[in-house]
Amino acid sequence: MKRRYRCLFLVALLLPAGVPAADLVESVVARVNDQAITHTDFETRCTIELRGPGDLDARRKVLDEMIQEKLLEEKAKELDVQASDAEVEEAVERVKRQYNLATDAEFDAALAQSKMTREDLKKQLRQSITMQKVVGREVTGKINMSDDVLRTEYERRKDELYKTPEQAHVAEIVLRFSPQEPEAREKAVNRIEEARSRIAAGAAFADVAKQYSEGNARDRGGDLGLVSRGELLPALDSAVFSDPPQEYPAPILLPGSVHLFRVTDRKPAGYKPFADVRGDLQKRMSENIYDKNYTEFVERLRKEAFIKIFDPTLAKAEEKKAS
């Protein structure tokens, strides 16, 4: 599923240094109910996520993320949802493994480089896990992925996603010649007819192919495996998928080659079975439904909340987006 909010600590660990709070003028950029997004916090977040101040649209998106996080924090309190100490410690260990921090000294050095302490990291992890729990309960947990729902979606989208072309198992004998040499073409045609006569007399196609063919599949007895309609050149495709089906279509003469086919195990066009695509369909549906449900969930939280953006430029950008 697409991440709708970022975990600050994962990006912060990659930065050479934090943003000195003393150099920033403390003011409120936005208020979400009783919670404030300060200028310091906002500029620090922009530096981390945008690798610098960023343009207006990027800054507006960062502020939007921070507003969403404040809304999720409030929802977590309302639902009495929080990360446990064990979950936080497990997340800390995952961070160590992700950044190959084998010792406590390496871990502390990486944190110090980002102007962080272990408690800072744990606080961010606790916040991230708590928000994930809220989203899990209010969004992910409400996705209906029953077999009936999946089968309905399968029927609706099988033409788009799971259509399979007509197929056949094909073996080939091919002889090549220069288009500028009529005698070479005639020799190739005569030789393909000779091969065809031997097959008609009872010789195995694979044995004849190994003796006569000049194709890449010669050592495999000319076996090309399963071929789908439309894979070959039009003239060859028409021969392989002739109507009515023929095991040995007439030889096909092209400008620089002549081809003799054996066609077996014709399979009509159809659809991949539901059982084979259930996992893929579930993943596609989960992503689409998750995005839709998440957007609706956040929009509902926003409508129910008091949100005020005090930065004039960002406020104007937000109004433009809304319109």
Mean pLDDT over 252-274 rounds to 95
Contact 1, 287 (CB under 8 A): yes
Which amino acid, 159?
A: D
Two tokens, residue 115: 């102007």
53-71 mean pLDDT = 90
Q: Tokens representing 97? A: 């493994």
Tokens of 271: 């659809």
State whether the Cα torsion 282-286-288-292 is positive or negative: positive
Rounded to two decimals, what is the model's pTM?
A: 0.54
First-last CA distance in the chain: 28
Do residues 145 and 281 touch, judged by C-beta distance below 8 A?
no
- In whole angstroms, what is the distance from residue 128 CA to residue 3 CA? 12
**pLDDT at position 287 over 90:** no
Per-residue pLDDT of 185-219, as tens digits, reads 999 999 999 999 999 999 999 999 999 999 999 99
**Share of residues in the chain with pLDDT > 70 (%):** 92
Q: Mind listing the domains of the chain with CATH numbers?
A: 8-142+286-322 (1.10.4030.10), 163-271 (3.10.50.40)
Task: Give the total residue count for the chain.
Answer: 323
Does 274 score more than 50 pLDDT?
Answer: yes
Residue 3 to residue 47: CA distance in whole angstroms:
20
Partner residues linked to 168 by β-bridges? 227
